[in-house]
Structure 1
Amino acid sequence: MTTVVIIVAVVLVVAAGLFFAFGRQPGGRGLQRRFGPEYDRTVARHDGDAKAAEHELSERLKRHRSLDERPLSPEDRARYAERWTRIQGGFVDAPQQAVAEADALLAELARDTGFPDGSDFEEQTAALSVHHAEHLNGYRRVHAVQRGEGSTEEMREAMIEARGLFDVLVSNGNGAPVRQAHHQAEGSDTA
């Protein structure tokens, strides 16, 4: 009986130690896993100072972790999908205009799903990074190239990458692309 109690106590102490070492600590590897490429981008912005970057990311988590995403109605989902398809279709004739429209659409979509208003791009992307870090780079690229900071090929690549964030937001967080069977052209994933 005493041996069983000692074994149980040792297991509990080890489990508690592992929890405090890995499960509770928001910094370091936990932040790196959660934020992915956004972690690296933030470290680079802080000139390689991982501690400063982790402080910033921890503050983002505090500010935006409890943000409640609002699901879109089926009608709104269809409306957004139709707009994205129209923007993609216009890319060939007017890539700069299409990218600017995609940037505006993503800002509006993020706002309509509960993220901060797109009038402050950095605040909106900070909130998005807490919930959708793996899809944020495309939105950042679209935002940069819509100001004329890229070639047509860079704009095309930005549009393709931004589609990931669009799909996650328009599908109410499940990441499944919304397709319009009769209105979407074949090969639409290529801007």
Structure 2
Amino acid sequence: MSTVLIVVALIVLVAVMGAALYFWRSRSRGLGGPALQRRFGPEYDLTVARHGGDTEAAERELAGRVERFGHLRSRPLVPETRARYAERWEALQKRFVDAPREAVTEAGELLAGLAQERGFPAATAYEDQDQAAALSVHHPENVDAYRRIRRAARPEGAGTSTEELRTALLEARGLFDELITEGRRGHRAHRRHDDRAAAHGDRHLPRARHSLKPKGSGI
């Protein structure tokens, strides 16, 4: 066997051993298939779909996210900061009536800034992969709503309908609530407060003035 073939064989062997070690470490830390499904919920299925049904590739990506961002711990918000974000969200909801795209753009920027304030990686105007990946580890139920509202605000999302923008804003509220509260207990309390609130909350977000939906068609 030539020297070149020996070198190639060694490289392949090292790569196979490295992959095997990675999977062994991931599974030993509870990052294997069932554990990943439990941890990521709908995000697991979405990642498998993005990989064309390749479960192994999807699980490698998800395990990698846990390795990179699982150690993150949310920084607390002081009451003044929490109040400021809450006021901004209420204001942009009202702004949606006359300027839906601008309101959605502001909502995406607000979520990105709030996530950074809580200790997640920073996001620029159009590059938020690390922030989304980190959010998926800690807020898997709502991270796809974050992606959708960020996409809707980008230039390539200019064709998004008013109703789609409205839906994106409504769904993004779930992540906003999780980020602005200190934990699941606070989140549930916050939602109970919203349920008792007057009809100016996000569940009654009015349609944009130029929406084509007829009056009385419901939310």
Identify whether the pair has TM-score above 0.5, normalized to the shorter chain: yes
Which of 36, 44, 47 pairs up with 2:49?
Answer: 44
- CA distance in 1 between partners of 2:112 and 2:159 (Å): 19
- CA distance in 1 between partners of 2:75 and 2:159 (Å): 33
Most deviating of 26-35 and 45-54: 26-35
Aligned in 2, Cα 1:25/1:34: closer, same or farther, shift over 3 Å?
same
Computed over aligned residues only, the root mean square deviation of the Cα atoms, in angstroms, reads 2.2
Structure 1 residue 151: deviation in Å? 0.8
1:165 corresponding residue in structure 2: 175
Gaps (5+ residues) in structure 1? 1-21
Aligned in 2, Cα 1:126/1:103: closer, same or farther, shift over 3 Å?
same
Which of 61, 66, 69 pairs up with 2:71?
Answer: 66
The question of whether the paired residues in 2 share the 8 Å contact of 1:28 and 1:54 is answered with yes
Matched to 2:68, the amino acid is: R
Matched to 1:50, the amino acid is: T
The question of whether the paired residues in 2 share the 8 Å contact of 1:77 and 1:178 is answered with no
- CA distance in 1 between partners of 2:56 and 2:123 (Å): 28
Matched to 1:173, the amino acid is: G
Aligned in 2, Cα 1:104/1:69: closer, same or farther, shift over 3 Å?
same
- Residue 56 (structure 1) aligned with residue 67 (structure 2): no
Matched to 1:171, the amino acid is: T
The question of whether the paired residues in 2 share the 8 Å contact of 1:137 and 1:161 is answered with no
In the TM superposition, 1:103-118 aligns within 5 A as 103-118=108-123
- Residue 76 (structure 1) aligned with residue 81 (structure 2): yes
2:94 corresponding residue in structure 1: 89
Structure 1 residue 137: deviation in Å? 1.7
- Residue 189 (structure 1) aligned with residue 199 (structure 2): no
- Residue 133 of structure 1 aligns to a residue in which SS? coil
Which of 120, 137, 144 pairs up with 1:137?
Answer: 144
The question of whether the paired residues in 2 share the 8 Å contact of 1:81 and 1:179 is answered with no
Aligned in 2, Cα 1:34/1:64: closer, same or farther, shift over 3 Å?
same
- CA distance in 1 between partners of 2:192 and 2:30 (Å): 40
TM-score, normalising length: structure 2: 0.71
- CA distance in 2 between partners of 1:179 and 1:97 (Å): 29
- Residue 186 of structure 1 aligns to a residue in which SS? coil
1:154 corresponding residue in structure 2: 164
**Percent of aligned pairs with the same residue?**
54
2:211 corresponding residue in structure 1: none
The question of whether the paired residues in 2 share the 8 Å contact of 1:125 and 1:136 is answered with yes
2:133 corresponding residue in structure 1: 126
Aligned in 2, Cα 1:25/1:68: closer, same or farther, shift over 3 Å?
closer
- CA distance in 2 between partners of 1:170 and 1:64 (Å): 19
- CA distance in 2 between partners of 1:107 and 1:98 (Å): 14
Matched to 2:151, the amino acid is: A
TM-score, normalising length: structure 1: 0.81
1:7 corresponding residue in structure 2: none
